[in-house]
Structure 1
Amino acid sequence: MSLASCAVSHGSRLDLLARPKVNFKKHQDRPSVYWVDKVPSVSTCGMSQRQEELANPKKVIAINEDRPSPIWPVSSSALSAFPSARVQNLAQPKKTSQEWMEDRPAYSIVSEGAKKASASPRTLHLAKPKHKASCSLPGTPNSHQSSGKESSRSIKSAPTARTESLAVHKIEHPEYQHDLPVVRPVPSSALHTQATDRVCQLAKPSPRRIISDVYDPYKISPAAKHAEASPRIQELCTPPARRQRSKKM
C-alpha cells in the first residue's frame, strides 16, 4: 500500500483504523521543512558486487583425515638431525638447590651422642628461671637483687642525702586546725552564755520611718519654692545655640 493510494481512498472510520501502519523504512516520507506537490518516487537500492560477495557463506576448507595408524614413517632428515648445544642445555632437567633439605620426619631419631651428652654449668645457669621481685619495675634487670653483691650500677644509682630529704612528705603546721565535724556536741559554756548590751543593740533591725496615710509625695516644701538656682546651674540648663529655634508667630 503506497502513500498515494492512502490519500485517494475513502472509507469509513473503521476502515481507516483497520489499515496497517506505514512502513517508513520501505516508503520514503515527505520532509518536514518544505512541502512538495507530488510524492517523490521511491528508489530501489540494490547490492553491490562486494556486498554480495560478503553475504555469501564461508567455504569449508577440506581437512585431511587423521592418520590411519599411530605409526608413521619418519623422514631421513629427521633421523640424521643432531640437536644443538642450546637445545641440549634446555632439555636438561632442573637441578635442586644445594641448600635444599628434605622435611624432617614426624618421629625424629635421637643420636647416641645426644643421649649421653651432659649440660655445661653455663647452660644450667641459663636454664634457671628468673625470680622477679614484687617491688621491681617491669623491664628492669633483677640480677643484682638475687645476688648478695651490689653491682657498680646499683652503687652509682643510690639516692643522695638531698634526694632523700626531698622525698620526705611535708609535715602539717602545728597550728593547723582541721575542719570541724558536721555533728558535734555543743559545749556547756555556749549553752549558758549571755549576749552583751552591744550585741543586743547590733542585733536589732534598723528602724524605718512609718509613712502615714496623709503623706502626699507630690507636695512641695516652702524652702523649695523660695530656692534660687546658681549661675552654674543656669548655664548647664541652657540648651546650646544650635538647638535654639525662634518660635514662628
Structure 2
Amino acid sequence: MPTQMEELAQPKPNLLKFPDRRSVYWLDDLPTRSKNTNTVFDLTPRLEQLAQSKQSNRFLEESRRSPEWMVSTAALKACPSERVCSLALPRVPADGWQPDRPLLATLSVAVKTAKPSPRICQLAQPKRAINLLTQCRVDSSTHAISIPITPSSRILQLASSKQVHAQHTLARPVSWPVPDCVLKAVASERLQKLARPKTRQALFEGYDPYRVSPAARAATASPRLLELSLPLPRKCKGQ
C-alpha cells in the first residue's frame, strides 16, 4: 500500500481528454468511454403527443370536397334561445336618424322659380386680387386733392437724412503718399528691442512652463484687481 507521500507525488490525471463527459461532478474512477458520443433523451408520452403533427378536421375535409354537406339531426331539431334570437335581430337605427338624401331629388316649384337678391348675386361673385401698386397709384386727372396736407415739424425732422458727424473721416484710400519724415525715421533701441519676437526654449531644451518669474512673485495687486477678484455678492452665501 503506497504511503501518503507517494500518493501526493503522483501527477494529477488529465480529465480534459474526455470532452463528452456529461456530469459536472468528478468521480473517483474515470467513466468508460461509450461508442455513442451523443446523449439519448427519453421522451415522455406528453412530449411525444406534442411532437405529432396536427391532424386536419374531418368536417373541414368534407366541406372542401363539395359545397353541399349533410346537416345533423340535432341541428335540424335545435331551438334557439331568447338570447340567440335577440342577437339575430337587425340593429335598430338611432333616434333621429334620417336616410341619405337621394342624388336626384325632386325640387319644389318655389325653388325652381326663386330669384336671387342683389346681395346674393354680389356674394356669389369670386373675389378679385387687388394689386397694391395699382391701388396706391394716384391719377391727378381723376382724383383732385382739395385740402392741402402739411406735415408736422416732427415728421419733417424724421424725414430729413442723417447728418454726418463733424469728426467723421472718410475711409483711407488703398494707396496714399508717405511723408518724408516717416521715410527718414530711425527706430530707437527700445523700439528695436520691442519689435523682436520673444525667444522661448522648447520642452526638450529645458523649458519649464510652470516656472514663475521673480517679478511675478514680488508683484502686488492693485485695489482694482483685488476688487475684481472678489466673488459677486449675490453668489456669496450668508454667514
Report the TM-score when normalising by structure 1: 0.28
Larger Rg: 1
Report the TM-score when normalising by structure 2: 0.29
Higher RCO (C-alpha under 8 Å, 6+ residues apart) = 1
